[in-house]
Amino acid sequence: MKKISRLTLRPVCKDLCMLLIFLLTFLSNCSTTLAKVKPIIPYLSDHTVLGLRIDDEHKTFTPYLWAGYDLDYEEGAYKVGGKIEIVQTPTGNQTKTWLDLNYGHWPSHELAGYPYQHGFTGGILRDDGETKLAVTVFNGEIGEGDAKKSTADPRYSKAIKVTHLHINYNRLLFQDWDKKAHLIMTVTSGRPNDENQVFSATTWTLPLQIGNFRWKTQAGYIDRSDLVFPYFDLADLVRGYEEKVKTGNRSLGMTMEKHFQPFPYSDLPFISLLHLTAFADAGGVLQSGEALRDLEFHHCLGGGFLLALGRCDLRLEGVVTDEDEEKILFYIDAFFPVPDDFE
């Protein structure tokens, strides 16, 4: 049975007011030029929303409206806000800094278990070509949304009012013609508005690509409060495992992957983008209260096809886990993810 999200029970007038303010600001700002309408393409960044965005990136102050449908969670998503752009060129490299303020109902991967956030987000974003940094403060409700994947766990079914700060640091460590390495650090830390306990989630991800070989290491730690209960999922570390079966508040995972390009010089459409893949994942999660010696590493082996689409890959894979589970997976994935704020 599909659950009714409590996020949708908020007074509609507040959202309409926000929309009205946006439209007024937008019209006053775009008196001479029309704003651009662009598509929001899912899977290119850290969300799965298909929709349209209205903004004008050539202005210093840009009001914007993003609206669409989340293919993963099967619900509508939107955000309205304004962005001020400051361009600096201190040492030759152009550095862009944005001040962003928005209100909306938008998917978020900052706290696993709470895929949707509804409220105000304000922050600073900076991109110097090598480092992408986003520091945002969120005030509003986090919850499951109308997720088809919503859990029966009452801890996640209720939207919770929180204030938290999120930091996303994405650094290009190395880049050569066939080598690339990133470091991605994310920290989310805050408190529920009605509770004096803190929650936080810290993750480090180190994706590395050398030619046709890929290696990714990731580690994470979560501090929970009584009301906010994020988790790491083994399914995100080791392919083939069911989602939300093995979860914990500490995680460590590794992925090795080798690609083979069978037809690199083919003139047929998409064929030159096709890769054969062989991979192995290993990882484990620890539940709160468990000691490090209790860490059980799970692993999987698999192979399949990969269609390299640039910023993301379309994948069809068969996988066997250490628990002899066999699975066929079809999904889109980005090995070097970029936060959607930088789109």
Q: Interface residues with another protein (CB under 8 A)? A: 84, 86, 88, 99, 101, 120, 122, 124, 126, 130-131, 133, 135, 137, 139, 151-153, 163-165, 167, 169, 171, 173, 183, 185, 187, 189-191, 193, 198-200, 202, 204, 219, 221, 223-224, 226, 229, 231, 242, 244-250, 287-289, 291-292
To another protein, the closest distance from the beta carbon of 237 in angstroms equals 14
> What tokens does 83 get?
């962005």
Q: In one letter, which amino acid is 32?
A: T
Q: Which two tokens stand for residue 289?
A: 């209260």
Q: Nearest approach, Cβ of 189 to another protein (angstroms)?
A: 4
| Cβ 140 to another protein shortest distance, Å | 9
Nearer to another protein, 222 or 312 (CB): 222
Beta carbon nearer to another protein, 266 or 287: 287
Distance of CA 156 to the CA centre of its chain: 19
Output the smallest distance, CB 245 to another protein, in A: 3
Interatomic CA distance for residues 82 and 62, integer angstroms: 5
Give the residue with the Cβ less far from another protein, 22 or 279.
Answer: 22
Nearest in space to 144 (alpha carbons), one of 73, 245, 42, 225: 73
Nearer to another protein, 35 or 133 (CB): 133
Residues with Cβ within 8 Å of 273's Cβ and at least 6 positions away in sequence, in order, are 307, 308, 309
Alpha carbons 202 and 182: distance in angstroms, whole number: 17
Q: In degrees rounded to 5, what are phi and psi of residue 336?
A: -115, 85
Q: Which residues contact 232 (CB under 8 A, 6 or more apart)?
A: 112, 220, 222, 247, 248, 249, 250, 251, 285
Question: Nearest to residue 45, comparing CAs of 66, 64, 26?
Answer: 66
As measured in angstroms, the least distance from the Cβ of 125 to another protein is 12
Place of tokens 């600001």: 25
Calpha distance 341→343 (Å, rounded): 6
Q: Which is nearer to another protein, 13 or 291 (CB)?
A: 291
- The whole-angstrom separation of Cα 331 and Cα 338 is 18
> Shortest approach of another protein to residue 244 CB, angstroms?
5
Residue 258 CB, nearest distance to another protein (Å)?
27
Between 9 and 291, name the residue whose CB sits nearer to another protein.
Answer: 291
DSSP string, 232-263: EEGGGTSTTSPTTTSEESEEEEEEEEEEE-S-
Q: How far is the CB of 138 from another protein (least distance, A)?
A: 8
CB of 335 to another protein, least distance (A): 20
- Identify any residues that bridge with 79 across adjacent strands, giving them in sequence order: 66, 104
Q: How far apart are CA 238 and CA 300, in angstroms?
A: 6
Rank residues 69 and 221 by Cβ distance to another protein and give the closer one.
Answer: 221
Of residues 233 and 257, the one with the C-beta less far from another protein? 233
Distance CA 30, CA 83 (A): 14
Cβ closer to another protein: 33 or 88? 88
